[in-house]
A and B are shown apart, each in its own frame.
Chain A
Amino acid sequence: MTGQSLPLLATLGWRNLWRHPRRTLVILFAIVLGVWFMIFSAALMIGIVEQQLQDTIFNLTGHAQIHNPKFRDDPAIEHSMPAPNQALLEVLNSRDVVQWSARVRLPAVAMSVRESRGVMLVGIDPQRERGLSFIGEPVVEGRALESISDNGIIIGRRMAEKLETRIGQRIVIMSQDRDKEVADRGFRIVGLFQAELEATETAYVFAGLATTQKLLGMGSDISEISLVTNSREGLDPLVARLSNAAPELESMSWQELEPLVVTAMEFYEAFMVYWYLIIFAAMGIGLTNTMLMSVFERTREIGLFQALGMRPRFIVGQVLMETLILLVIGITIGNLAGWLTTDVLLASGIDLSAFAQGTEQFNMASTMYLTLRPNDLLQINALVIALGLLASLYPAVKAARYVPVEAITRT
């Protein structure tokens, strides 16, 4: 095909489409619906996964962590690490790190007058947790911790219910200290935090970093350093730099820390492609049928074209162009509809709080946010155009194979 003939094919394709406006509108509607559905389900699926990722990162994980190499397998006090040295501090305070914080994180038992529970005692630096984890956010009741040597403790809202205690009362925290003796201490509850998942609210209690270190006789030792960075791509080099600065410690990105989240993301991405194919099959079969019909109807006309000297590949081109125009219109409207539903209509998320316990069962937050990624849009549109043209190849080739004389004489 020469460059000149393209406009001609486009004109032919466009006019052919509107010979049967009703038929074109029906198949157009199927394409729009299909494209919209692909976009919507991608946004829903990716939204759920991204939110799980955000929650995981905000749930004391961060983008990367540094530990004693033995700590992750066996989170015990003897697997603590020293406070960061000069070399490590240099990397931590570099431009790539938005926020970092040192924590003590050890198993303990929390006892109120009536009940006792196993918890994770987390000693934090309140100022540094801001923007790093959920505990840096304001608490739902009472006050947040004010400094590393704050004497109060913050527990989960639902934890307070389980322990039958409330703000202002004391609970006893019991754990093992450096010499493997039982260390215990009473804390006054100064604030209650709230988390989306009940498991989070009952898993952690937060005290000042220095207070915790003193209670457990740890000196300046800590359990972990957690950090967030501002670029996803820069994470791996950053982790490598951390490893270089502290070779005796273990520096890991969230992908290594939470392999399940990564597995889930990969699973969903693979699943999405299958899902697209199913949706495409549903509309593709209609597309092939419609193009076939439109070619059958035009048998005589196509025969005439050929008799007048049009090459078979131009006939293929003509049908493909017709499909392309159809697909482009369908995709444009579909994308628009997809953007409208995800970014405008449902921009504030889908509220499932009526099913809060159910979403909890799935480890999901009760509000679902749709996430539209440019990459997914690109993938969907490319897939629909490629497969759509493929689906109309059969009718196109069919038309090109007509024998002119037979085709013209057919009624």
Chain B
Amino acid sequence: MQAIAWQISLVLMAFVAFGFAFVAIRSGRREDDYAPLQKRAYRLRTRLFWVVVLAFGPAMIYTLFELPYGASRASPGSGPAQVVEATGHQWRWELSRDRVAAGQPVEFRVTSADVNHSFGIYDADLRLVAQTQAMPGYTNTLRHTFGEEGTYRILCMEYCGLAHHNMLAEIHVGGE
């Protein structure tokens, strides 16, 4: 997902850069009569508007089909969910268990005992695979199925004070 976001961003930013560079290069020789140029530009803008609608519209809708808020996020797995109670403290994680099985859904029930934290799961390659906020008074349920065995790290993703960067824990996947 991160690589896709990066590539799409680069392409879109390059399009914008191309538009500005094209106009800057063509800015020198003046067309004194602005009205016809305006008319052509408005026509092009209408087309551009529809290109944007047709390109972004389906993407906007398509990406709403798999939201992390429901149980569907864990659907690739099978069997009953393995429940992990996770509580954030300044500055440590309290986990009800630190070993789960790969291929089976895991339900993290995430909350905080003090301030806002965020429960970010990093894989062995240090790639963020899932996250949810840990907030006092609320429990956010994060469902995730680990596809690969290994040691995953839990990092705090919401600034929570002096030792925020030290708020690490580990989850071992596949050890059961």
Q: Tell whether A and B belong to one assembly.
A: no
Chain B residues engaging chain A, CB cutoff 8 angstroms: none
